[in-house]
A and B are shown apart, each in its own frame.
Chain A
Amino acid sequence: MITLWGSKKRNNKTKNIPVRLDGRSLYALAALLFLAQLPHISHLPIWVSILGVGIVLLKLLEHHRPTKLLTTILSPIGMTTIALGGALMVRVHYGYFMGRDPCVAFLFILVSAKFAEVRKPSDSTLLLCLAGFLLLTQYFYSQSIISALITVPAVLALGNALAVIRDSKNAADTDKNIKMVGKLLLQGAPLALLLFVVFPRLPGPLWSLPDDASAKTGLSDSMAPGTIGNLSRSGEVAFRVEFDGEPPPPEQRYWRGPVLSDFDGRQWTLGQGAPRVRPTGKLVADTSAASYTVMMQPTHQNWLFALDHASSLPMSDTVDAADSRVLASLTSDLQLKADKPITQVLRYEQSSALSNSYKAIRRPSDRYTHLAGNNSETVKFASKLHTQSGSDENFADAVMRYFNQENFHYTLQPSLLGDNPVDEFLFSTRNGFCEHYASAFVVLMRAAAIPARVVTGYLGGEMNGDYMIVRQSDAHAWTEIYLNGRWVRFDPTGAVAPSRVDTNMAAALGAGEPVPMMARTGNAFLKRFKLGIDELNHDWQRMVVDFNNESQYRIWEKLGLPKLQLWQITVLVLIITALWCLAVLGFPALRRKGLTAEEHLWNRYISLVGRYGVHRQTTETPNQFIERATQLLPGHGSVKAIGDDLVKLRFTRLDANNSKALKSKIRQQLNKLYMHSLVNRHSITSQ
């Protein structure tokens, strides 16, 4: 029975009999659900995962050992209650509901509840749709190769579920179904690829849910002792860079991020925003320039990163320069700031002048010399040292020497600091990470009335093939002080641990420090393997995840085509789809040619005579048919003539030339008859 249209009728008949989904359909759907839910378990709250997967398992248990309790729980009413309760709990857990994460969590529970509630195959349509959507939502969290690979069995399971619930009693075995769905997917793949390549990508979100702000990652807009140290324990990729030409040497890989100028005695913050400026040669001397493309991971914050010091605005990476957009503005303290948080992988072109200072636009305000908190010993020490040094430059150098020569330690596990963190650090604990040194250095400078500030960002980057990986473990803090009208970079960490600057953090830290594996030096097998994976991920990111309008233009360009208009793309898709249909059907027109020429002509003859209303019967021999046709169609002499020629062609031995001549004669006559039938269509039919 075809079940799709007749389901309502059957409802009435079986109203009082408890209907249960048969085992085949149940397991096909459960497999789909399992594969759709699996990728979500890593990011959902644990109770959501347990609830969702638990319901599915309970339903399977109830199928085998139905008990009254289970049946009650899994009844439509029970499941509605669980879905509503789940919604409430999600709301409580997240504190809001209309956002991406709570909605995904609710969908996760809803799919399970719907599964438990499905009674017959025709009910499961909604479940299939929800499961399909759940499958898609995993990409909110990860678009890695693994995510893509996990989807394949899920799609196969979806196809299998469709095939099984279509007619569960007569459905083929699962392995046969999977094979069949696999075949369908492979046949559909060219079409899918075509659509993926040509489907126009709309820029920007159509809407954004109000509470979509995800956890911010990377550097933040404030820095206290421990902030950067914590960040450094992560081996996550912050961004990847492709250089036009040689990458700069390690000691020039200062990637500038948030510049922190306000200090409350413990914590550094942005303070009031610096004004926007236009990047010009006046600001940055064109000493040695680097231009490069950055592929930044989403941070949900506004900063873009550039090597010190940015000499251009970050431009979107486009083929056609005219399409390129400015992605962020430059502030007078040379931060690159986007208008909106970076929520997607961002690819931008940037150039920098590699220098350790730049010309200040105006005299720094009092903010840069303001000191807060009780760090009196530091102030005393600074004024003493400043007097001894004679000039600001000498003073800064003296402080650097002080860090270098005194017993300071560079460590990821510094001693905890109390109420006077700078005093305690400088004169008692003397161990710290870059933020301790940067903070202390700036406080010392300010104590001597030298304008100074903390710059956070990344220092370093590791080449992997033709691109550079900058990780969170490269996060760093350094300082800038105002000397002779220029802002000059001082990196006190370099004075303590020089290898931090010219190699990396792991080289600068002692053994036993909790350095993330990917930040370690050396070429351990696992690291090489992981770098290989990163390269794969990088290519995946570039070619698949970041596929956008630009990638499309690049493809047209490679093919030597101009930018295609929407209608041109539509026509292209239609043409290719038509060809694809023929290909999947096995080119029926070509296959017909598998008939011999004689058979083909004979078939044409039969169908043509059929147009005149004389149809061949199965029992008739060719001769009988020709005779009957001749009698019934007295007005058409050629019917007899062609028929006789066909019989001659078929049943007598002819040499190649004669046979060819006869065939072309028959063909001509058939064409004539065909034309006649077309022209006299009306009179034939109204006889």
Chain B
Amino acid sequence: MTSTTANSEPTSFKQRLFRSKPEDILPLKIEHQRIYILPTRRGLAYLFSLLIMLIASVNYALSLGYALCFLLTGLFAASLLHTYRNVAGISFQAISADDVFAGENIQFKITMANESNLDRVGVALKTKNTSSVIDINTANSAQAILNIPTSQRGIHTLGRVTVTSTYPLGLWRTWCYVHSNAKSTIYPTPENSPPPLPSHSVAEQGENQRKANQGDISGLREYHTGDAISSIAWKAAARGQGLFVKTFEEENAGGETYLSLSATGLTDTEQQMSRMAAWVISAERAHADYWFELGDTKLEPSCGLKHKRQALSALATHGLKP
């Protein structure tokens, strides 16, 4: 969110009109400043027939014709206010989406609250290619879900959402734009049946090393309960420096997976990304720690949700223009 900076740009006229930049800060209450309203096609047809009716009333001096005409005008005007009021005052509480693999649908969950004492009926949320209609009861909140299909890895920003409604009579269409920078990361589609994890080749290298420098002490680290007594560096303990454990080369290399572009043995970037994504998933499934290297991203061997997300996010954006 950009709100923490004091020198954020003022809302320019253009931005106020079209909300073309993602500058909206949640929670956001839809106030009259951003609400537009125009007659629908049916509304225009209705207006046109009112005009015809008025002309007929004038021509034949039909007092009741005038009355009917003006009654329907009143209906038209009152429905304007109701259409407007159906959207005004809704507040956007949160927009969130989970990350997905390319090919899946992103589900943007939009939480909206209605603090007024009016039910909001048939409020549609729309983006370029999806829409969703919800009702929000009085003093309640509701969640709209926008399903956005994906095909390519990358980062998808929700973009401008149009909040629109024609309730109650469909004669007016009111709309406003909400543009927050809610994002979802699209991971590459994992390869279907990937080759086994590239641990084998890395392990071979390690074995060769071990053969040459068997028993080489690579360093010391602090003692944790459970460490083998034989591995304690007693010399250091004797010097009064505290308990340390000797670490050996083999501990780093043994049975670990090293994921990198070169390991894939592929040349096409998208195929590389797919294979690496598949490896990340199978490594995670096996609860195996793995190295991960991709461009500037170098991850120490680990495993778990955070690690997985870092790795997959790196795969999602690798080589793409930000």
A contact residues vs B (CB 8 Å cutoff): 1-2, 4-5, 125-126, 128-129, 132-133, 135-137, 139-140, 143, 147-148, 151, 155, 158-159, 162-163, 165-167, 170, 172, 180-181, 184-185, 187-193, 195-196, 199, 201-202, 205-208, 344, 544-548, 577, 580-581, 584-585, 612-615, 617-618, 628, 632-633, 681, 684-685, 687
Contact = CB atoms under 8 A, between A and B. Distances in A.
B84 to A, nearest CB: 8
B261 to A, nearest CB: 40
Contact of A143 (B4, B25, B64, B121): B64
Contacts of B74: 185, 187-192, 195
Contacts of A143: 62-64
Contact of B9 (A133, A137, A162, A685): A685
B124 A2 contact: yes
A199 B70 contact: yes
Given A133-B53, A166-B170, A1 B131 contact: yes
27 contacts: A2-B173, A125-B45, A129-B46, A129-B48, A132-B72, A133-B49, A140-B60, A148-B67, A155-B71, A162-B171, A163-B169, A166-B122, A167-B170, A170-B133, A184-B168, A187-B78, A188-B78, A189-B71, A192-B71, A344-B60, A544-B67, A548-B61, A617-B1, A618-B27, A632-B5, A632-B6, A687-B7
Contacts of A681: 10
Interface of A is mostly: helix
Contacts of A614: 3, 6
B68 to A, nearest CB: 6
Contacts of B59: 205-208
Contact of B77 (A125, A191, A199): A191
A184 B82 contact: yes
A136 B69 contact: yes
Given A1-B133, A163-B168, A188 B71 contact: yes
A166 B169 contact: yes
Nearest to A187: B78
A196 B49 contact: no
B40 interface: yes
Interface in B54-97: 55-79, 81-82, 85
B244 interface: no
A2 B72 contact: no
B41 interface: yes
Nearest to B9: A685
Given A139-B68, A162-B42, 20 more contacts: A1-B133, A4-B42, A128-B45, A136-B62, A136-B65, A147-B64, A148-B64, A151-B68, A155-B68, A162-B170, A166-B122, A166-B170, A181-B169, A190-B74, A199-B70, A202-B58, A206-B55, A618-B27, A632-B4, A681-B10
A194 to B, nearest CB: 8
B144 to A, nearest CB: 13
A610 B181 CA distance: 19
B10 A685 contact: yes
B75 A188 contact: yes
Nearest to A189: B74
B166 interface: yes
B164 interface: yes
Interface in B159-216: 164, 166-171, 173
Q: Which of A132, A207, A618 has the most CB of B within 10 A?
A: A132
A344 B6 contact: no
A101 to B, nearest CB: 13
A4 B41 contact: yes
Contacts of A158: 72
Contacts of A165: 170
Contacts of A584: 78, 81
Nearest to B126: A2
Contacts of A205: 59-61
Contacts of A544: 63-64, 67
B8 interface: yes
A584 B167 CA distance: 16
B52 interface: yes
Contacts of B76: 188
Interface of B, helix, strand, loop or mixed by DSSP: helix
Nearest to B53: A136
Contacts of B66: 196, 199, 201
A192 B62 contact: no
A148 B70 CA distance: 13
A184 B79 contact: yes
Interface residues of B, number: 63
A162 B6 contact: no
A189 B53 CA distance: 18
Nearest to A200: B58
Given A166-B170, A189-B71, A685-B9, A136 B78 contact: no
Nearest 10 interchain pairs by C-beta: A188-B74, A166-B170, A685-B10, A632-B6, A192-B74, A129-B49, A192-B70, A188-B78, A195-B70, A615-B3
B62 A612 contact: no
B226 to A, nearest CB: 40
A584 B73 CA distance: 15
Contact of A166 (B3, B45, B166): B166
A492 to B, nearest CB: 41
Contacts of B169: 159, 162-163, 166, 181, 184
Contacts of A199: 66, 70
Contacts of B49: 128-129, 132-133
B176 to A, nearest CB: 14
Nearest to B117: A586
Contacts of A155: 68, 71-72, 75
A344 B5 CA distance: 73
A548 B62 CA distance: 10
A585 B45 contact: no
A189 B68 CA distance: 11
A195 B73 contact: yes
Contacts of A613: 5-8, 10
Nearest to A154: B68
A195 to B, nearest CB: 4
Contacts of B48: 129
B89 to A, nearest CB: 9
A184 B79 CA distance: 7
- Residue among A5, A166, A544, A632 with most chain B CB within 10 A: A166
Contact of B25 (A193, A615, A628, A684): A615
Contacts of B53: 132-133, 136
Given A170-B122, A184-B75, A545-B63, A4 B27 contact: no
Contacts of A202: 58
Contacts of B73: 188, 191-192, 195
A2 B166 contact: yes
A205 B57 CA distance: 9
A191 B76 CA distance: 11
Contacts of B82: 184
B42 A125 contact: yes
A548 B63 CA distance: 8
Contacts of A129: 45-46, 48-49
Contacts of B124: 1-2
A286 B66 CA distance: 43
Contacts of A5: 40-41
B57 to A, nearest CB: 7
Contacts of B57: 136, 139
A193 B85 CA distance: 24
Nearest to B57: A136
Nearest to B89: A588
Nearest to A124: B42
Interface string B102-128: 000000000000000000011010100
A140 B48 CA distance: 20
A180 B168 contact: yes
A133 B51 CA distance: 10
Given A2-B164, A167-B122, A684-B10, A546 B63 contact: yes
B194 to A, nearest CB: 39
Nearest to A100: B60
Contacts of B126: 2
